[in-house]
Structures are given as structure tokens and as C-alpha cells.
Amino acid sequence: MAEKKKVVVAMSGGVDSTLTARLLLDQGYEVYGATMYQFDGQDEEIEGARKMAEFIGIPFKVIDVREAYQKFVLNYFIESYAAGMTPNPCMMCDFKVKFGLFYDEVRKAFDAPYFATGHYARIVYNPETELFEVRKGLDIAKDQSYMMYHLTQEQLSHIIFPLGRTFKKDTRLISKEKGLPTYNKAESQDICFLTSEKSYVEFLENHAPEAFQPGNIVDKKGHVLGQHKGIPYYTIGQRKGLGIAARTPLYVIELRPDTREVVVGSNEDLFRTRLLANELHFYDDKIPQEEFRCQAKIRYGVRVHDCSVKVGDDGRAVVTFDEPQRAVTTGQSVVFYDGDLLLGGGTIVRAL
């Protein structure tokens, strides 16, 4: 009998990762479970993952990634807001920690070639190009391929997403059928490190009070309309909480950390046709030399839009959309698709 393939499942104790481990067991894999120890106050999640690993009968380890998490996620989160950007900590965690340090450490710890998570995306090998491809999950409402544009060919050859062809509602039904106690467990919150704080602003107030410097709220012509208590309180497209009386609704259209100004304007002022992106990565590990057509989205959860992408000699891309996009936000990711094929992506530098 052929030796079973070894796979480590990143476990959180939730419905998706627990079912992932169980499905791989049912498929004949030799399955191990592991959880990232990212920050203090995570005891409940770690214990939940440990219990689920014990429940389905697989070995389990906790990998301490706190140093890397502080460096690549928390410091990035704090510094980005202080610089007037709107960061994506989940993307950075996936890039640098989960599919970075953790991916390497758990495969080494269990001497396992494969690594699996409960993400709703698909990895497909294309024999014509001899490349691994990330494709959208079949459940478009839950699709998480947006988070995967940084994965390399080497990583894709060792990663498994068992839920890529499953709909979320079916995940819970299958979990119940298999007797998994997580079938009705609530979804986790978006920003996992908010353990004692109620919001990201409260977290920043506690960990980076120096980022909250007062300044002026101005219109596009520079006229002072009011004052603010700190740029981290605001993000592009925000309407509520400005504290300014005006005849027509005002929205945050730009953040200027150098002058500590929050610029406001009309809803129409939020729309841009072009943006500049850097830190690019494409699924074939190559930077396109020619301008190309594709679809793109400028944040998780929105639909894709037709565009053209031209990468310059400086390695940065100008993305031109056929239709103006609302609230292009510095620090978020722009991700490129050809149908359901994930082509690549990058970080938004600014709207043009």
C-alpha cells in the first residue's frame, strides 16, 4: 500500500478549518493540526483548535509566531495608519506569517510536504502551461482568492484548499453530517488581534497614541472647515463622524499626513479612473512586459471591473479602469483576474 501523503492543516477551532482536517482524513491523508500563537490573549482560540484536533484524532502543535506577527502585522498596521494609509492586516498576515514563517515551520515540524487551510479558493495545475493557478472559489460570495495573489509557484505546489468547491452553507451541513461540533459555531471577527479593544481606533489609541495628532479638515481648495483629533480616525469614503455642518453631504476624499490635513469633498470627488500600485506579484512569478487587459478589484468583497494594466520600468503598475472606481484607498490591494483565474496583484500607492 502506498505511503499516505502528509498534510498539516492550519486550525483555528472554527467550522472551516475543522472540516478541512476531517475531509483530508477521509481522503486518506496523514493529517496533522497546527495553530499560530500570534499574540497574547489568544488562549481561547488555541484551546479550541487543540480540542478539535483531539476530537478528530490528529496530532497537534502550537507554533509561536509572535515575533514575526508583531513585526510584519501589528507594526505594519500601526505605521500604515500613522502614515495616512488604510492597511489590510489580514493580507499581510497571510503573506508574511501564515503562508510564510508558519507554512515553513509546521511542514518542517511534521516532516509534511503539504499545507492546507480552510480558504474558499481553488488551486489547479494547468498541464499546458505547467503552472499552478489560483482560481476563485465556487461560492463567489465567500471567495477568498483575493488574499492569495502573493503565493509563489513553489508554495502553490504544496498548498491544498479543500473547501474551494464548497458553498459556505454546505460547509455547515457537511460538518453537521460528520458530527463535528463546530457546525454552528459563529464566524470569527475580521481583525483577530482586537482581543480587549472594541475597534481598530481603540487599538491604535492604546498602542500608538503619538499617531493621533490634531489638524485641520479642509476642502479641495484648502479652506479650513473644522478640526480633527487624528488622521487614524478617518478613511477614504467616510461620511459619518466629520462634525461639520454643510448643505450637502461631505466625504473624506484624501488624507495628508505630512500636513495633518483631512480633505473632504462630494461623493463625486471619490471616483477615480486610474491608480498606481507597487509591490506587484503575478502567479507565474513574472512581471508582464506589455500592457494587458483584465478585471480587477480594489478591495475584498467588491466585484471586479474591466481595466488595463501597464507595468513601468520602475516596477509599478498604472491601472486604468473602464469605469470610475469609488474610494480608491492607499494601502489596500488591487488584485487582477482573467475570468476566475487570479493573475496577480499589488498594493495601491494612490489614486491618479
Q: Which segments of the chain belong to CATH 3.40.50.620?
A: 6-118+162-177
From the CA atom positions of the chain, what is the Rg in Å?
Answer: 22
CB 122 within 8 A of CB 135: yes
Which tens digits make up the pLDDT trace of 140-189? 999 999 999 999 999 999 999 999 999 999 999 999 999 999 988 877 66
Q: What grid cell was written down for 264?
A: 473632504
pLDDT at residue 2 is higher than 50: no
Q: Give the mean model confidence (pLDDT) for residues 233-257.
A: 92
Would you tell me how many other CB atoms lie within 10 Å of the CB of residue 269?
16
Tell me if 7 is assigned to a ligand binding site. no
Supply the residues annotated as catalytic: 93, 192
pLDDT at residue 218 is higher than 80: yes
Tell me if 28 is assigned to a ligand binding site. no
Separation of alpha carbons 43 and 55, rounded Å: 18
Tell me if 14 is assigned to a ligand binding site. yes
The residue written with cell numbers 506579484 in the block is 281
- pLDDT band at 128; cut points 50, 70, 90: very high
Homologous superfamily in CATH for domain 6-118+162-177 = HUPs (3.40.50.620)
Q: Which segments of the chain belong to CATH 2.40.30.10?
A: 270-351
Separation of alpha carbons 263 and 249, rounded Å: 14
Separation of alpha carbons 48 and 62, rounded Å: 12
Tell me if 1 is assigned to a ligand binding site. no
Q: Which segments of the chain belong to CATH 2.30.30.280?
A: 212-265
Which tens digits make up the pLDDT trace of 300-334? 888 999 999 999 999 999 999 999 999 999 999 99
Q: Which DSSP state fits 99? A: I
E strand intervals along 251-340: 251-256, 261-265, 271-282, 292-297, 305-311, 317-326, 333-338
Tell me if 36 is assigned to a ligand binding site. yes
Would you tell me how many other CB atoms lie within 10 Å of the CB of residue 182?
22
Tell me if 16 is assigned to a ligand binding site. yes
In degrees and rounded to multiples of 5, residue 22 shows phi and psi of -65, -40
Q: Give the mean model confidence (pLDDT) for residues 29-49.
A: 93
Rounded to two decimals, the pTM is: 0.92
Pick the CATH number of 270-351 from 1.20.120.1200, 3.20.20.70, 3.30.428.10, 2.40.30.10: 2.40.30.10
Task: Give the pLDDT score at 1.
Answer: 33
- pLDDT band at 242; cut points 50, 70, 90: very high
Tell me if 243 is assigned to a ligand binding site. no
- pLDDT band at 192; cut points 50, 70, 90: confident
Nearest to 331 by CA among 245, 239, 231, 243: 231
Top-level class of domain 212-265: mainly beta
Separation of alpha carbons 87 and 65, rounded Å: 20
Per-residue CA distances from 167 to 16, 120, 121, 227 (Å): 11, 8, 11, 47
Question: How much helix, strand and coil, in percent to the nearest 5, is found in the chain?
Answer: 30, 30, 40
Compute the mean pLDDT over every residue in the chain, rounded to the nearest whole number: 93
Task: Give the pLDDT score at 82.
Answer: 81
Tell me if 104 is assigned to a ligand binding site. no
